[in-house]
Chains A and B, each alone.
Chain A
């Protein structure tokens, strides 16, 4: 794990920024995102609908908190769990041979393929690094972190 305070801060900006951007694109088109979730053919229609309404906000709020340094461990853990879930979904979708857009970045989305796995893994590395980092520099409330 990388513990350098500047690098951890950059990681927070990058990861937070990516999720704010991804979330905002989806917030502006909730029905489009619901359809994207449905296209994965994993969830029933009603779950796709409610996920599409809530997930983008989880991404944006966690991203904002991560950049501000507010609840940063909790935010990083949420984003790590989301990225891990996306990873499973991507692998399952490739294995099932379903040819669809991931819907990760609204209309800027890429196809579900091996490159997407790589992107996901890089982001997962950043989020886990932030989660396990004890660096409390550049945070809004400089209190002792949650982790011992």
Chain B
């Protein structure tokens, strides 16, 4: 009997919390079912300078030559291989602040940030950081290194930014 009461109370708390939680965030749920937040959890209203691009768009920007590619993976991964000409701004332990100061990029530059692929979030985190630093056009290439290599596009194992 006691156990039954305990389970009933637990179920009551869980249902109550779920109803309030889902009700209070109804606007987000609506957006979710409209297709948002499938790749990353930020609202485009909050970060208007950030857009997500596909492999085809990344390739087009790569060959247009006026875009800077930024690899957000740790330096070790970057040195093993990266998109040809990409800079490395590892998003870890606040290294990005120092490196960005050293690179002295113009806020008007078109930036493409990427990491390993859809599993990693550091490109999105770096994009947010760059948005906060005043960059106007940041594109997250979510397919990242994995898709780029699979497509056989130009890569480099040189350190392209030192």
A-to-B contact residues, CB < 8 Å: 27, 30-32, 34-35, 38-39, 41, 45-46, 48-50, 52-58, 60-62, 65, 71, 73-75, 77-78, 99, 146-148
Contact = CB atoms under 8 A, between A and B. Distances in A.
Contact of B29 (A53, A58, A74): A53
A40 B5 CA distance: 34
B6 A57 contact: no
State the main secondary structure of chain B at its contact with A.
helix
Given A30-B25, A53-B22, A35 B38 contact: no
Contact of A61 (B17, B29, B41, B43): B17
Contacts of A148: 2
Interface of B: 2, 5-6, 9-10, 12-14, 16-18, 20-22, 24-25, 28-29, 32, 37-43, 92-93, 119, 121, 124
Contact of A99 (B18, B40, B92): B92
- Listed from nearest, the 9 A-B pairs whose CB atoms lie closest are A74-B9, A57-B21, A54-B21, A57-B17, A58-B17, A34-B41, A35-B41, A71-B9, A31-B41
Contacts of B20: 57, 61
Given A45-B37, A146-B6, A148-B2, 16 more contacts: A30-B25, A31-B42, A38-B40, A38-B41, A45-B38, A45-B39, A50-B22, A53-B21, A54-B21, A56-B21, A57-B17, A57-B18, A58-B21, A61-B13, A61-B16, A74-B6
B92 A78 contact: no
Contacts of A39: 121
B42 A35 contact: yes
Given A30-B25, A57-B21, A75 B43 contact: no
A49 B39 CA distance: 11
Contact of A75 (B13, B24, B41): B13
A130 to B, nearest CB: 13
Contacts of B10: 74, 77-78
Contacts of A54: 17-18, 21-22
A146 B83 CA distance: 62
Contact of A71 (B12, B21, B43, B119): B12
Contact of A53 (B16, B25, B40): B25
A46 B36 CA distance: 11
